[in-house]
Amino acid sequence: MLIAMSRYRLLPTGAQEAVLLTHCAHARFVWNLAVEQHAHWRPGRLSAPGYNEQARQLTEARAEFAWLRAGSVTVQQQALRDFHQALANFCAGTHRRPMWRKAGRNEGFRQVGVRPEHVQKLNRRLGQVWVPKIGWVRFRRSRNVPDSVRSYRVTKDVSGRWHIAFAAKPDPIPSPGNGRVVGVDRGVMVSAALSTGEMLRCPGSTIGEERRLRALQRRLARCVPGSNRRKRVKAEIAKLKAREADRRKVWVEKTSTDLARRFDVLRVEELNIQNMTRSAKGTADRPGSKVRQKAGLNRGILAHGWGMLVARLAEKAVGRVEKVKAGYTSQQCSDCGHVASESRKSQAVFRCVSCGFSCNADVNAACNIAAGRAVTARGDLAVGRSANREPQLATSTA
């Protein structure tokens, strides 16, 4: 079952923020204890305490320690449930192993059993939600809260902003029924090139923000470690980074919704972004080459939200997103099917050495993705097949 998180800006007072931080600390403490108990556990090899045993241990700990007993038992128990769900996902092979949570970076907790009366509308701009041990906390109503809310998660990002995300089962965007197919080629210079010729760019930092970021980074290098000045500078940098991330998320939401409403079938490249953005520094015995260039490429890939765009498309256009093998899509001519690396003249120019067809290189790749055409190193079609065109791998005459 697909669950979407509708996130809103939380507006706690000073006293409420102190209790929220306490909830986050308790949830992190319980989570890390569970991680420690399962540190040497492997599926099918070593036994580890289950949820019922750990819940019993939590009850004993609350009876012994007053600082833990002062917190919300529902928040602490839910941290245990979340850990065991994460462990089950790891055993199923769909997620990574649950690891330690760090103060200041993984601040948050989840509350379940939310009833409709726990979320209220105050006016057009504000609402309020009931939080254990605190009471009513206001949040900014940037849009209507879903009616089917049963749980929420409260988080604090590195820039110091509080957010609340309500979990609800969304309705998928209906297919337009026009039979249109679009190919989406993701890049660094152009965030998403469509087979229709459209070039979509994810907004990043402005020139002024980049200038201020460089100045703050130079100032951070001169700060004394552990000083209050260093903390203030890091908070300013985090605010700039959070603003850029917000723009990227808004762009992904608008773009994915627009594509899901306009096209029946959406085809994208099948990319392993995690492997593509690995560091190239290597090891002490075998150091890597061009490490700084690879780090810049990794930042460019992550800044354009490649994975987030495809994930949101799959959630909104359920069953209508197809992944095509990425092999040779940028070297294959979308007009005649000829494959040659010489046809890719530059980052933006594609001119087929066989038929002379010329167009933007990213749009050419998007057309190949839309047609479902990708070839392997042997010259075979990997996905899809054109009835009248057979892609031919260029062979060297040398």
Q: What is the set of active-site residues?
A: 185, 269, 362
Half-sphere exposure of 96 (CA within 13 A, CB side): 4
Q: Please give the Cα distance from 371 to 195 (Å, whole number).
A: 9
Q: Please give the Cα distance from 125 to 179 (Å, whole number).
A: 40
